[in-house]
Amino acid sequence: MTAKDKKSGQPSGAREKTEKLKGASRPEDEKDLAAALEEANRKLQESEDKVLRLAADFENTKKRLEREREISLKFAEENILKELLPGIDNIERAMDQGRESGGRESLLEGVELTRNGLLATLEKFGVKAIDAAGQPFDPNIHEALAMEETDEMEPNMVLREYQKGYFYKERLLRPAKVIVSKPPGSGA
């Protein structure tokens, strides 16, 4: 037979369990549980807020990377096009020499057709020549090689173009190298 408690007549271990169960429903314990539940809910809300912020940051980063990728793709051919430009320069120089020396018209015509074809191809891909001669000097698109005195043109105008400049889409690919006018007798 098991040992019984003298007061209740119950087995001795049963009384301890009953007191523990009765103690769990005390008002102080309920306040502790409510506070713990409140704390857990607060931490859960903070965690949810952090997750939402991280998700928003991820979306913003994803959109920024997509914009950068689009810009990168838009200007991906830029280096190739820069490499084509010296060929056009050489053709233009050959045409100038052919005109000056009275060379064969057919050679000049062939070089001219080649240049026109190259320029048409470049235009198809967004490259456009800068029309500099006779225009006001703009340091954003022109590179001044020298200044020359003249009374034929207003000061700070492009007198002659030494090398054509080009735009690639909206971006300056290469500035035009130019001679800029200055008034006669202006010295330096």
DSSP state string for 77-92: THHHHHHHHHHHHHHH
Contact 122, 138 (CB under 8 A): no
Mean pLDDT, range 70-94, rounded to an integer? 82
Task: Find the helix or strand (DSSP H, E) in which 181 lies.
Answer: strand 176-182
Mean pLDDT, range 12-26, rounded to an integer? 56
What's the CA dihedral at 169, 172, 177, 179 to 10 degrees? 100
Instruction: Give CA–CA dist 72/54, Å, rounded.
Output: 27
State the maximum Cα–Cα separation within the chain, in Å, rounded to a whole number. Answer: 136
Q: Range with the lowest mean pLDDT among 65-69, 112-116, 128-132, 140-144?
A: 112-116
Q: For residue 14, what are its two tokens?
A: 């049963």
CA 65 to chain centroid, in Å, comes to 9
Per DSSP, 76 falls in state: T
Sign, CA torsion 157/162/166/171: negative
Residues 138-170 have pLDDT tens digits of 999 999 999 999 888 899 999 999 999 999 988
Tell me how many degrees the CA angle 117-122-124 measures, rounded to the nearest 5.
95
pLDDT for 1 equals 46
Among candidates 112, 115, 106, 110, which has minimal Cα distance to 86?
Answer: 115
Share of residues in the chain with pLDDT > 90 (%):
45
Residue with tokens 């001679």: 179
